[in-house]
Structure 1
Amino acid sequence: MLSTITSFQLITKDIAKSLDRIEQQPTVDRDTKYYLDNITKVKSIDDFVKNDRLFKYAMKAYGLESMDYAKAFMVKALKEGVTDPNSFANKLTDKRYADFVTAFNFAANGADATIYSKAQQLVTKNYAIQAQIAGVDPNSDYVKGETTYYLANIPKVKSIDDLMGNSRLYTYALAAFGLDSATEDKDQIKAVLQGGVSDPKSVANTLKNPAYAALASAFNFQAYGTNATTYNAAQQPTVDKYMRQSLEEDAGKSNEGVRLALYFQRKAPTITNWYDVLADTALASVARTALGLPDSFATADVDKQAQLFGQKLNIADFSDPQKLGKFLTRFTSMWEINNPTSTAVTSVSVLFAQPITVGISTDLMMSMQKLRF
């Protein structure tokens, strides 16, 4: 059996290939096809939870498969949505619930929840409002004609240049946010779209007129690339999450340490403080193992745990792929010592044995000792 670090590196060396392997598994392929063929037909929360196959697929995608039986609990979360900071999902410590409700946002988008795209539904709604403000009947032949053309062609737009290169679509898109394509500086609009809205210092976020940020949010090429005009979290993004969850689950069947490492790798960029780590038993387990702390440390005062983690590790490193890789090398090495994949390999024998192809080599052990955080 391959060592923990070797297994982890083989999977992450070409993550796309590893995910393709998961996608090709007959059960995964069949369930995914069913999901994509049917999720857009769901028009209500009741439709969603009553279709056990769709609901379980979605719950697994967000790491909530252990709660797929608690439908009343999830219905409450879905009904209250995430707009209100005090909604049920937002008040739960586990943010996976809020992420799930955000993806299946029936509270905000109603029957369009599983097909809603800002670049389509939001823009056309705004366009009708702007027409009314300008004194034009939203039900006029002109408005209807422009909207029909827009909806028929906007899904074909795969880049900023595509959008700006079609004057009719471009004019419609800007008009939906109260911007006049005839007077707006095209270079500035391009910069607005290129910068997106995730960075507080992006062009859109620094301009005084909030319409620019709204435009960049609706046409979020910076975040969603070629899928910007069709993006809906309930569709392909949920499938992508399902595949990643399945990959981790598959790895865990033979080595739980690999599953934990993959999970930490996925969650690392979202970690902002040590309390996020401590609130997640899997993340906390990885941190303790990497630092050589016993499981009993989990029973210590939470503030003291956070303080120690902060002294030993720099949380900003988790946003740096190279530094994160170094940390996970440390974790997988420590996991292997505590849970050797070969009975011939122990923390003592590693120190004296010649390098071998299974388990931890002497060189690896020495390298591990040099790691600093």
Structure 2
Amino acid sequence: MDTHLRFSVLNRDLPAAKDRTAKDPEIAREIKYYEENFKNVETVDDLLNDYRLYNFMMKTMGLEDMAYAKGMVRKVLVEGTSDEKALANTLSDGRFKELAEAFPFNKDGTIEGTFDWSEKNEALDRKVVRYTNVPGEKVEDVDRLADYYQQKMQRNVGLTVQLLADPALYKVVTIAYDIPQEIIDGPKEERIEWFDKNLDLDEMKKPSELKDAVEKFKDGLEAQRVESTKNIVEKYIQVSFEEDEGEQNEGVRLALNFQRTAKDITDAYEILGSPALYQVVRTVLGMPEEMVGTDIDNQAAVINEKFDVKKFKDPAEVDKFVKKFVILYDAQNGIGTAPSVQLFASNPGVGIPENVLTAVNALKFGG
């Protein structure tokens, strides 16, 4: 079956097609292993040294071809993306940035969510830190944060700035009181204004409110973990589904991937950083093979000249773009006897004639 026809058939009921992939015994086993074991990962090395978890992660992020580069993967995970000089931000392959964002770790190698209680974290109340640690016993991080919060709030927190300046208190409060993400990420002044307007410190320090906040914090953390696991599993199923289709027809895999990710494209450089997106865009825009590997700024300029990537926010534009790709992919790969290609051919069996290709390439986007 040719690319155009297979892609059309799958799109008639994508959920059912992906559900069949999820029920594949091998896929189901790997999903179950991830769900049962990733929650036990405490450090980046725990993840890298577990063959099945590591390969699950790499496949989920479309990085199976880079599984051998564990040293680089470790550096990407530990450095994250907050620093513009971090490795993930300097690599041309955008998949590594997505990896660091999907599997966040702290710079000390602990998984994000595990709080930094070290002496370097000078913003903490060291006396309360000592009280929350039981020598010789392992204290769960969530319990230690809850204990710290209750003790510290009752001690000497009288101003919003004190609450915002203490990373342990801030972590508990943002989750327990469901602080909007735009406030959490916003400027300090806006955060102070929002906290002063929406939270009452005196009320928060009451025993019943402290207890309630701690319970909400724990529930919130668990909800975040469940949601994160769900998102990763869904992506693993999607990627597995696309890979399965790719084994039969690479064009179908590329089309499905583009259909799923195009809405997130913000500039031409993101296209150039993704081998899959780049191949689709290069095919549709008619960028010659000779351009591959040339100056990245020049290639970005060519893409921007030929197409406004902001249009990918419009599902109709994505649909039009990917449909053009599947037809051109079949033509360029000599799939001339396939049913959907013959629909365009004046002489079935000889491929798409030049006048039809010209018409397809002249397809106008944006109206």
With the shorter chain as reference, the TM-score category is 0.5 to 0.7
Answer whether contact 1:126 1:177 (CA < 8 A) is retained.
no
Alignment of 1:1-373 (within 5 A): 1=1, 3-107=2-106, 113=112, 125=145, 128-129=148-149, 132-135=152-155, 176-177=173-174, 197=182, 209=193, 211=195, 229-231=223-225, 235-343=229-337, 350-353=344-347, 368=360, 371-373=363-365
Deviation at 1:62, TM superposition (A): 0.8
CA distance in 2: counterparts of 1:265 and 1:281, whole angstroms: 15
Answer whether contact 2:94 2:273 (CA < 8 A) is retained.
no
Q: Secondary structure at the match of 1:85?
A: coil
* RMSD over aligned Cα atoms: 4.5
CA distance in 2: counterparts of 1:345 and 1:133, whole angstroms: 71
Deviation at 1:58, TM superposition (A): 0.9
Q: 1:74 to 1:68 in 2, by over 3 A?
A: same
> What amino acid is the match of 1:95?
G
Q: Secondary structure at the match of 1:352?
A: coil
Deviation at 1:209, TM superposition (A): 2.7
Q: 1:210 to 1:55 in 2, by over 3 A?
A: farther
Answer whether contact 2:311 2:317 (CA < 8 A) is retained.
yes
Answer whether contact 2:95 2:274 (CA < 8 A) is retained.
no
- Indicate the larger mover: 51-60 or 82-91: 82-91
Deviation at 1:261, TM superposition (A): 1.1
Q: Secondary structure at the match of 2:345?
A: helix
Deviation at 1:131, TM superposition (A): 5.8
Q: 1:348 to 1:44 in 2, by over 3 A?
A: closer
CA distance in 1: counterparts of 2:358 and 2:287, whole angstroms: 19
CA distance in 2: counterparts of 1:178 and 1:35, whole angstroms: 25
Answer whether contact 1:333 1:360 (CA < 8 A) is retained.
no
Q: Which residue matches 1:157?
A: none
Stretches of structure 2 that go unaligned for 5 or more consecutive residues are 116-140, 158-168, 200-219
Q: Which residue matches 1:146?
A: none
Deviation at 1:134, TM superposition (A): 4.4
Deviation at 1:328, TM superposition (A): 0.6
Q: What is the TM-score with the length of structure 1 in the denominator?
A: 0.66
Q: How many residues align?
A: 304
Q: 1:78 to 1:346 in 2, by over 3 A?
A: closer
Deviation at 1:307, TM superposition (A): 2.5
Identity in percent: 30
Deviation at 1:309, TM superposition (A): 2.0
CA distance in 2: counterparts of 1:267 and 1:55, whole angstroms: 23
CA distance in 1: counterparts of 2:251 and 2:146, whole angstroms: 49
